[in-house]
Structure 1
Amino acid sequence: MAKRRGPAVAALGVAVALLATGACAQSAARGPADAGHGAPTAVVRTDAGTVRGTVSGRHRSFRGIPYAGPPTGEHRWAAPRPVRPWQGVRGATRPGPLCPQVPAQYGGTTSLEEDCLVLNVTAPARSGRGRGLPVFVWIHGDGTIGGGHLFDARRLADRGLMVVTVNYRLGVFGGFAHPGLPGSGTFALQDQQAALRWVARNAAAFGGDPGNVTVAGTSFGAAAIVGHLTSPSARGLFHRAVLSSGEGMMDMLAGMMGPQVPAYRWYTWRTVRDLRDAGRDVAAGLGCAGPDPGRALRCLRALPVKRILEVPYVMNVFQAFAFGEGVLPELPEKALEEGRFHRVPVLSGATRDEHRLFVGLTWDAVNGKLTEGQYEELAVTAFGKERAAAVLAEYPVDAFPSPALAWATVVTDRMWARGTYAQHTALGRHVPTYAYEFADRRAPMYLPVPAGDFDFGAYHASDTPYVFEDEALRGRFTPAQARLADAVTDYWATFAATGRPGRRGLAPWPAFEPGSPVPHTQSLAPGAVTAVDYAAAHNLAFWRRLG
């Protein structure tokens, strides 16, 4: 079986590794520097013990607070367990360890540390009196690299929010599945829910309101939130949701992420059986095969982290969530379509040119320019010969500056925009839904990709630094982009506080109404925050006709 499944699993790993770069702000963003010995401190009592953070300027910061016990030994691939209480005052001035990870094409972080289930709190230095602060919980994207402390939340805290950023188990440690393993394929989701339960118990101690919690994420993180929206065990843990470039209702046709990458019906979701089959293959490759699942798991849990990470693509194979049991009893996409999800307001959107990042990394910016012949071959691989002819007629190569941009537009429209619009529609039928498109086509590139003449446009996750502070990019924003960053952050913060993104001083942002002729989508561009006909801009009528 390992030989039969291996190539497909490896190809999926490559595809997901590229697609999930929504967390790439991690490789470039920097959190506030640790305070020196003479810096003011802040002391807070949590339910597990007292922590000492720092006060710097307008902010209070607490870093590396454990929200669950170490997932080590027999607790590797198990539900998160409670933190062991501590005596005295625990320092919370430095980041905790990143969860196990290896460098990716778009990020160089490395860690072998499993005792990594920590979170960080950033809040205004003065919380004021009266009701607690709205709480904003950030789930970073990617699913194989990064961590919460790599996102600097001071800009959001300046808007009166208590911001929590979270580490969770990644890749094979967060999504591993195996016969006889309870919770298979959902350990990352379980970690995130454990962090939300920590917020419910402890937010008030930091000046936050546990009755007003927004959970937000980008890319893989946004897909996780779609899972939480449909997970029975997440009921009541949050009251609003922000989905940035989410993949919860997205599929992938063959070749869209590269010539050798096959099609997948659900991009983010896998059946428990499929992931358990993959886990059995990985166990065999690690020398832990056998008819007794318990013995195989004991063997796997005894392996050093480094040995597991040395298996090619092992992190990316499990960069998905399993449905069919426990945490996700049914396919989240189906649950959204049929209205079975937690009723909370949602702010949801994507970028104008989502797929340009992946085309650039696969071809023009790294491996040579995509040719017209390759563009045609990719279309045939994805759509079949007959439908490819219709696609090539609708997106003729001579209508674009290059074949690469033609292909990026095809995939942005067919895969990203189609899935995003379906998500808006499913949500908007039942809850207040505010749709957006980030459209700054000159957004600075914050990822470590080669410089060149490829036009990345408003690439995947290019809106992240417009919300999270990034000192390296701050000097590269034009005045108009700096104003856009303020507006986007104001929208997100206002939504977290009230459940609506609009307020005085901001351009109006009506809700997305699925039954209207042109449901409102807010276009966010420098000097041009206005409505856009999202379906028309991404040619969705054509894709509906094509099927």
Structure 2
Amino acid sequence: MNRLRRRLVPAVALALVCVGVLVSGASAASDVVRTDAGLVRGTSVGEARVFNGIPFAAPPVGELRWKAPQPVRPWDGVRESVDANACPQQANPEVPNGSTTEDCLYLNVTVPKKPSTKPRAVVVWIPGGGFFMGTAGNYEASKLATRGDVVVVTVNYRLGIFGFFGYPGLPGSGTYGLQDQQAALRWVQQNARAFGGDPRNVTVAGESAGGMSVCAHLTSPTATGLFSKAIMQSGSCAFNWDDNSQYPGQAADSPWVPVRTVQSTGKEWAAANHDKLSCRPGQSTLDCLRAAKSDVLVQETLQFTQVGYGGTATVPLSPAKAMKAGLFHRVPMMSGNNHDEATPWVAAFGEIMDYPGLVTNMVGKAQAAKVLREYPLDRYESAAAAWAAVTTDRIWSCTQAATDLQAARKVPVYAYEFADKHSPLAQPGQGAAHAMELPYLFRLGGWDAPLSETQQVLSNQMIDYWTTFARTGDPNGPDRPHWSPTRTRAATGLSLAPTDQGGIQRVNLTTEHHCDLWAGIN
């Protein structure tokens, strides 16, 4: 069980925080829209209309647990806009009471109320949450849709043990969550026009585990034709971590593992929990697991937070290896990080830090001297700040830059770094930490973040960049600095900060985050 327990805390644990016709008209200005499975009614949110809780796949319950998503059963009458169930997960900041409800494959559609003479670009948002938490309902998209004049679709997908479980002989092991995301993207292809959207102009976007999911779809044969652009925020194909780097005692790993590893873990876990699962004599393990109550399974959901590759057409290769080999969909990309990604994880190492010891435990004695010369303690205000810089660069910034440079050989890649150190979500001393950019794009939980005047300008500029990219594949436009695609020798892009913190500036991310050093070490 020790090997199982080392997987309990995944690398992305703090991520807080994919053709009908209109009843009338040529855009979703109507309250009622006809999808391919039935009528749905929207509600008003400011200058947007929101259609919440639309099923895009059948409930994955009973015999459908750990199977590919199945078609929705059509309904009669008009389906009202309601908050959809969050997929099963333990209690967390996004879903404070947790969830045990497997009937959760729903999406939300947000459209501007104002009419449009042509179909709008569509942004499909995949939430983050370490592959074990998160929900589409947390991302209220009215300001993104209205200011950006786009249709926004936010999606749920199976998480943890429900989305990434594996067992010998179980088809799709380790990929059910990604299959759900692709089912949502297929729903968009079939229904975008009903909401005034253009199925030929779809951008798939996500943050943290959502960004990693986007990169997986970029390398997935079964995602062919489902999107024409991609946005990866704080998550990429190359994401990985060293020993003892995010948590003490954590082994080096990545979000991508061979399917045989996922299946072996599942078999070991099922054997160890046979009594808890209340299996009947003579009952097969899979039958027992499918009959198990969801509240029992959700207790163990953190055992299964990695994507299995090599067992299905969905993820035939490790996304990291596929991207490096150039085996990805040729679409324009936006890709970036936050300047101080790793600061929320520093607390796991305690208040009194042996900074040289931490570096040695991470990279080994032979390499530690190189790292300590590059990141001398006297350059930082504390050992914690130094360690945060080291782990931000090694785990987050340079892995993202690696994916950027690999993709830039074939397609335009717009690299960025969010650098506002005073986001409304930031805790004291965290700076531009993981997920701090999200309230600049969304009303998280329907909450209007208290942005200063300069932060509001930055939010508007970011929405303009993001949605112009979604419409055209190029983020540039008036009232914001020019953004050039990254070069192939160094990851160059924009640093995004409000004017009272230096404003939006060009940045060499490879240099700023010492990526040549980390490339040599790794």
TM range (shorter): over 0.9
Q: TM-score, normalised by structure 1?
A: 0.88
Paired residue type of 1:76: R
Quick check: 1:101–1:111 contact (8 Å CA) kept in 2?
A: yes
SS in 2 for 1:13: coil
Unmatched segments (≥5 aa) in structure 2: 18-28
Q: 1:283 aligns with which of 270, 276, 286?
A: 270
Q: 1:535 aligns with which of 510, 513, 520?
A: 510
Where in structure 2 are the equivalents of 1:101-180 lying within 5 Å?
101-104=89-92, 108-129=96-117, 131-142=118-129, 143-158=131-146, 159-180=148-169
For these two proteins, the number of residue pairs brought into alignment is: 502
1:13 aligns with 2:14: no
Distance in structure 2 (CA, Å) of the matches to 1:418 and 1:544: 8
Provide the residue aligned with 2:367 in structure 1. Answer: 387
Quick check: 2:45–2:142 contact (8 Å CA) kept in 1?
A: no
Quick check: 1:270–1:320 contact (8 Å CA) kept in 2?
A: yes
1:428 aligns with 2:408: yes
Distance in structure 2 (CA, Å) of the matches to 1:481 and 1:542: 33
TM-aligned CA deviation for residue 436 of structure 1? 0.4
Q: 2:493 aligns with which of 505, 521, 536?
A: 521
Quick check: 1:20–1:220 contact (8 Å CA) kept in 2?
A: no
Assess, with a 3 A threshold, how the Cα gap between structure 1 residues 325 and 470 changes in structure 2: closer, same or farther.
closer
SS in 2 for 1:214: strand
TM-aligned CA deviation for residue 309 of structure 1? 1.9
SS in 1 for 2:10: helix
Paired residue type of 2:375: Y
Paired residue type of 1:183: G
Assess, with a 3 A threshold, how the Cα gap between structure 1 residues 14 and 111 changes in structure 2: closer, same or farther.
same
SS in 2 for 1:61: strand
Distance in structure 2 (CA, Å) of the matches to 1:442 and 1:520: 24
Deviates more, 1:102-111 or 1:436-445: 102-111
Quick check: 1:444–1:473 contact (8 Å CA) kept in 2?
A: no
Assess, with a 3 A threshold, how the Cα gap between structure 1 residues 106 and 69 changes in structure 2: closer, same or farther.
closer
Q: TM-score, normalised by structure 2?
A: 0.92
Over the aligned positions, Cα root-mean-square deviation in angstroms equals: 2.1
Distance in structure 2 (CA, Å) of the matches to 1:293 and 1:429: 56
1:369 aligns with 2:351: yes
SS in 1 for 2:144: helix
SS in 2 for 1:8: helix
Quick check: 2:140–2:446 contact (8 Å CA) kept in 1?
A: no
Paired residue type of 1:15: P
Provide the residue aligned with 1:29 in structure 2. Answer: none
Unmatched segments (≥5 aa) in structure 1: 1-5, 26-39
1:445 aligns with 2:425: yes
Quick check: 2:443–2:449 contact (8 Å CA) kept in 1?
A: no
Distance in structure 1 (CA, Å) of the matches to 2:391 and 2:93: 21
Distance in structure 2 (CA, Å) of the matches to 1:152 and 1:140: 12
Paired residue type of 1:489: I
SS in 1 for 2:60: coil
1:490 aligns with 2:464: yes
Amino-acid identity (%): 41
TM-aligned CA deviation for residue 8 of structure 1? 2.9
Distance in structure 1 (CA, Å) of the matches to 2:440 and 2:220: 30
1:469 aligns with 2:443: yes
Assess, with a 3 A threshold, how the Cα gap between structure 1 residues 126 and 473 changes in structure 2: closer, same or farther.
closer
Paired residue type of 2:341: E
TM-aligned CA deviation for residue 107 of structure 1? 5.8
Q: 1:479 aligns with which of 425, 450, 453?
A: 453
Where in structure 2 are the equivalents of 1:277-356 lying within 5 Å?
277-287=264-274, 295-310=284-299, 314-326=300-312, 327-356=314-343
Assess, with a 3 A threshold, how the Cα gap between structure 1 residues 247 and 294 changes in structure 2: closer, same or farther.
farther
